[in-house]
Amino acid sequence: MRFIVLFLLFQGLQVKVLGQFSSTTTVIGYVGETITLPAKAFKSWTLARIDWSILHNFTWIATWDQEGVNTERRPEYRGRLSLNTTTGDLTMRDLRLRDAMHYNVDLLNSSNYNQVNRVYLVVKERLKKPTIQLNQYFTKSENGCVLVLNCSSPVTGVAFYWEIEPSCDHCSNNSSSDTSELIAFFSTKPDSVNLTCIVKRETDTESNNLISKIKVPMVEVKSDCGYMFACGFITAFLIGMVGILLYQFRGKIIEMFQQHVGPGNLHLTGSKVQPESVTS
């Protein structure tokens, strides 16, 4: 009898040898996606019961035993859980930020051995493509320009990086948790500028670039030689127009002149005005 009692106690100790939380695993999931929480059952085991739970009071969210699978125990997980009765793994769909917490899995095999593991689920938001906007441009000098650009991210807590083609001669970047302003100076006047904004958070990276290259409209500054040429051209044009008008209206001009001077003092020979001969 004593031997039987000792044997049963030994069997009970064997069940508890694996203890609470034999292992803890951390997995990372993303909002709206699907993640599998590993039970990490021994490969040699044939499972007889699986209990997935949350919180310190071990609130069940998914279970399996001889009566079948039940993944509808909690309303916040309803329709989102699937349980693998061979491995004990729990699959969770449509992840939400509030799903991030510790999950406990209690496994029992056909030989009545018990194993309890813990999984810590971290839920993040995937980075999204940032938005680039050209705020303004202005001419810095005859051969240079300045561009002011803004890059914003719908996800906060990111780091911003810029790639510019061609390279700017001087760039300054003022960034916050969700936006970045870039001021880029070019000593020469580029025909176009290709800009790429990169956002990074830990190992996640997203980028966006202006596929339509930005044309940089520049105000053309004329040189002194060009200015003198333009002035000379305008002056010659005006003189020519005055000459044409005098030729077209020469008759009226002569008539008006005769009225002031007197008809006896002038006469016309051809198209020229000749003075009369003076006799003694």
Tell me if 11 is assigned to some domain. no
What is the number of domains present in the chain?
2
CB 71 within 8 A of CB 83: yes
Give residue 263's pLDDT.
55
What's the pLDDT score for residue 261? 56
Tell me, rounded to whole angstroms, the distance of Cα 239 from its chain centroid: 61
Task: Tell me which long-range contacts 116-119 makes (C-beta under 8 A, separation of at least 24).
Answer: 116/18, 116/19, 116/20, 116/21, 116/22, 117/21, 117/22, 117/23, 117/24, 117/25, 117/39, 117/40, 118/21, 118/23, 118/24, 118/25, 119/24, 119/25, 119/26, 119/27, 119/37, 119/38
C-alpha 165/C-alpha 184 separation (Å) is 11
Q: Is residue 84 part of a domain?
A: yes
The residue range of the domain holding 50 is 25-124
Residues 116 and 148 placed together within one structural domain of the fold? no
pLDDT recorded at residue 22: 72
Q: Indicate whether 37 and 116 sit together in one domain.
A: yes
Residues 242 and 234: beta-carbon distance below 8 Å = no
Residues found in the chain: 280
C-alpha 124/C-alpha 72 separation (Å) is: 25
* Domain final residue, candidates 59, 92, 124: 124
Q: How many CB atoms lie within 10 A of CB 156?
A: 11
Claim to verify: residue 93 and residue 77 sit in the same structural domain: yes
Q: Please enumerate in sequence order all residues whose Cβ is within 8 A of that of 66, keeping only pairs 6 or more positions apart, or say none.
A: 48
* CATH number of the domain enclosing 154: 2.60.40.10
Tens-binned pLDDT, residue by residue, of the chain (280 aa): 344 434 444 444 444 445 556 788 999 999 999 999 999 999 999 999 999 999 888 899 999 999 999 999 999 999 999 999 999 999 999 999 999 999 999 999 999 999 999 999 999 988 889 999 887 766 655 667 888 889 999 888 899 999 988 888 888 889 888 899 998 888 877 778 888 999 998 888 999 987 545 554 444 434 444 455 456 667 777 777 777 777 777 777 667 766 665 555 544 444 444 444 444 3
pLDDT value, residue 223: 41
Task: Mark which of 100, 124, 148 sits at the end of a domain.
Answer: 124
Q: In the structure, how many helices (H) and strands (E) does the chain have?
A: 3, 19
Specify the pLDDT at position 141: 56
Specify whether 135 is located in the same domain as 118: no
Domain-located, residue 15? no
pLDDT for res 20? 56
Residue 162 has a pLDDT of: 92
* 88 within a domain of the structure (yes/no): yes
